[in-house]
Amino acid sequence: MLVLQNIAYRHPSKDLLFQQINLHLNRGDKASLIGNNGVGKSILFKIIAGLLEPWEGTVQSDTAPYLVPQLHGQFDTATIAQLMGIHEQLLALKDLAAGRVTGDNLDLLEGDWAVEERAAQALEYWRVKQWRWDQQIGCLSGGEKIKVLLAAVTLHGPSLILLDEPSNHLDTAARDLLYRFIQSSTATLMIISHDRSLLNLMNTTYELGPQGIALYGGNYDFYAAQKRQAQNAVHQHINHQQKALRQAKKTEKKTIERQHRSDTRGKAKQEKAGVARIMMNTLRNSAEKSTSRAKNLHTKKVENLEQALGDLKAGLPDTDKIKLSLTNPDLHKGKILVKAAKINYRYAGQHTSLWDKLLCFQINSGERIVIRGPNGSGKTTLIQLILGRLAPTTGEIYRANIDFMYIDQEYSLIDNKLTVYRQCQLFNRKGLSEREIKTRLHQFLFLQEDWDKHCGVLSGGEKMRLALCGMAVHSASPEIIVLDEPTNNLDIQNTDILTRVVSSYQGTLIVISHDDYFIQQTGIERSIELNNRSLTATS
């Protein structure tokens, strides 16, 4: 069905991105493609789809691949009809309805007189509401854009489908629709995703890296178990090497001390025996050479062990390299931080309020809360009310005098014009020295070559790590951390890093997320549900 042989790709700058990519998918296979941000997963999909030429190697497929790309605003000026690939057919139908029958119109339709009806049914299945064929995609939310692309897949029914982060921006109901579609589809599927629920629906996992691609014959959980087993072996090897290094250094020290004592005793005996000066010099030189040889022998062994240990540690995943957790805010648990009394909000120019029920809720220090709801239900607006960035148009909301950090989907607290070091310096309320700030940056995987980079060139995962580093150099951890869809556009590695750091935080956590795995791993205890434009709170 799909065969890749020795695929390699170089950037226009001639830098090698990946090489020796060999992959084989049979009809009906369901495979995931995983790997860290920047390894070239999306580029490999474009090569498979014929949108990019590989530097070397061949792609063979007995059917045309259908690519659903990751959204970056590239389709915002297109209409829904254009994005679904039926714009010309709809124009042909309109002409035929007006009596303008031409060969071109008939060729465009190819006998598919119900294409408009089928397209409308596809949009209805994916629950795209209040649409027009000529409506520009830029007017839709991120979740609605993805739904239109998925509706196009349903409409055209391709037999080889490439989905690049299809669950990004989808609410829980839409994700469930996607999961059911994947499970019921008879097409050959290949998916890039960090959504573990989606990845576990696949029967094969491919991991892409700079030196090639590795095949794991199972879903993501199977892959993760295999990786853990391999990493445990690496950690055991590291422990063994560390013990060997300590022993080698100890032996080196003892050998040199023993040789030094022997040389000293020999010199004393020679002086006492009245050995001639010229012979004394000869014997001393011989002893020094013997000591030097012993020292060089042990020094070489130590250097070899240090090199081997460094190579082993370099191969560890980045999640194992981050050793820093956030400090805990000095705030007793149970203190009332936010209390909303019969609040609602109405956007400027709107005649109706956002929710059809007045909202009453309380947030206490130390709680871990998720705000859930369909796309457009007002989750981000509720966050803005909680943080005091918006004022309710109805009711009152009390906020304690607290410090918070809000990390939205676009990481807007990061100034794209600043360098990585300068941005981190702005977070510094402790009066840390330059060396201490750079140590914190290194702990969050920003090495020396990254410090002068402008934040605008950072990936979403890198901006997330820089924001977390900012918390670490702040005077104290904020009393509230608010994360708005934090795992969108993060690869699995950076999601694990975020999960690890946030899980260690003991302050108040408020999250907007549809990622059930992230919610579970971060110890969320309570949810605020926004359904059908009304809010209910459950513990």
Contacts of residue 242, Cβ cutoff 8 Å, sequence gap at least 6: 309
pLDDT reported for residue 81:
92
Instruction: Average the pLDDT over each of 42-56, 186-200, 250-264, 399-413 and give the range with the smallest value.
Output: 250-264
**Amino acid 356: pLDDT:** 81
For residue 53, the tally of other CB atoms under 10 A from its CB is 10
Is the Cα torsion angle 391, 395, 399, 404 positive or negative in sign?
negative
d(C-alpha 143, C-alpha 251), whole Å: 63
d(CA 334, CA 163): 45
In the chain, count of helices (H) and strands (E)? 17, 18
CATH class of 336-538: alpha beta
* Confidence grade of residue 306 (pLDDT, cut at 50, 70, 90): low
215 vs 101, residue with greater confidence: 215
Which 3 state secondary structure label does DSSP give 20? strand
Share of the chain above pLDDT 70, in %: 81
Per-residue pLDDT, averaged over 226-238, amounts to 73
Provide the pLDDT for residue 172: 86
Q: In 3D, which of 510, 263, 494, 273 has the Cα closest to residue 408?
A: 510
Mean pLDDT of 392-420: 89
In the chain, the amino acid numbered 29 is D
Predicted local confidence at residue 534, as pLDDT: 42
Distances in Å between the Cα of 90 and the Cα atoms of 86, 133, 150, 407 are 6, 9, 19, 43
Q: Give the span between the Cα atoms of 366 and 34, in whole angstroms.
A: 35
Compute the distance between CA of residue 461 and CA of residue 225 in angstroms, rounded to an integer: 24
Please state the separation of Cα 373 from the chain's center in Å: 23
The reported pLDDT for the residue numbered 284 is 56
Confidence bin at 536 (pLDDT 50/70/90)? very low
pLDDT in tens, 57-109: 999 999 999 999 987 777 888 999 999 998 988 888 887 777 877 877 777 77
Q: In this predicted structure, which of 412-426, 465-479, 522-536 has the lowest mean pLDDT?
A: 522-536
Helix boundaries (H) for 273-317: 277-314
**What confidence score (pLDDT) does residue 327 get?**
66
| 110-130 mean pLDDT | 89
- Asked if residues 31 and 190 have their Cβ atoms less than 8 Å apart, the reply is yes
Closest CA to 149 of 117, 178, 186: 178
Residue 539 to residue 536: CA distance in whole angstroms: 10
Contact 20, 180 (CB under 8 A): no
pLDDT per residue as tens digits for the range 436-458:
999 889 888 888 989 999 998 88
Parallel/antiparallel/unpaired status of strands 16-25 and 66-68:
unpaired
Instruction: Tell me which range, 217-226, 228-237, 246-255, 497-506, is most confidently predicted by mean pLDDT.
Output: 217-226
Q: Are strands 204-209 and 30-34 parallel, antiparallel or unpaired?
A: parallel
- The larger pLDDT score, comparing residue 530 to residue 401, is at 401
Rounded CA-CA distance 16/34 in Å is 19
Range name among 60-69, 249-258, 377-386 with the lowest pLDDT average: 249-258
**pLDDT on residue 459:** 79
Tell me the pLDDT band of 537, cut-offs 50, 70 and 90: very low
Instruction: State the pTM of this model.
Output: 0.73
The token duo for 21 is 């990519």
Least confident of 163-167, 379-383, 456-460: 456-460
Highest-scoring range by mean pLDDT, 231-245, 275-289, 519-533: 519-533
Mean pLDDT value of segment 324-351? 80
Helix (H, G, I), strand (E, B) or coil at 417: coil
Q: pLDDT tens across 176-209, in order?
A: 999 999 999 999 999 999 899 999 999 999 999 8
Mean pLDDT for all residues in the chain? 83
pLDDT band for 6, please (50, 70, 90 cuts): very high
CA-based torsion, 141, 143, 149, 152: positive or negative? negative
Residue 58 buriedness (CB in 10 A; 0-12 / 13-18 / 19+):
exposed
pLDDT above 70: residue 429: yes
Under 8 Å between Cβ of 11 and 467: no
Task: Please tell me the distance from the alpha carbon of residue 284 to that of residue 413, in angstroms, as a whole number.
Answer: 68
Say whether pLDDT at 535 is over 60: no
> Mean pLDDT lowest for which of 69-83, 267-281, 367-381?
267-281
pLDDT on residue 271: 55
pLDDT band at 276 (very low <50, low <70, confident <90, very high): low
Distance CA 106, CA 293 (A): 90
Q: Cα–Cα–Cα angle for 403, 515, 503, nearest 5°?
A: 45
The pLDDT assigned to 188 comes to 96
The whole-number pLDDT of residue 539 equals 38
Confidence of residue 289 (pLDDT cuts 50, 70, 90): low
Residue 22's pLDDT band, with cuts at 50, 70 and 90, is very high
CATH architecture of 2-226: 3-Layer(aba) Sandwich (3.40)
CA angle 73, 79, 83 (to 5 degrees): 75
Assess whether pLDDT exceeds 80 at residue 301. no
Kindly list the distances between the CA atom of residue 209 and the CA atoms of 44, 184, 215, in Å, as whole numbers in the listed order.
11, 30, 12
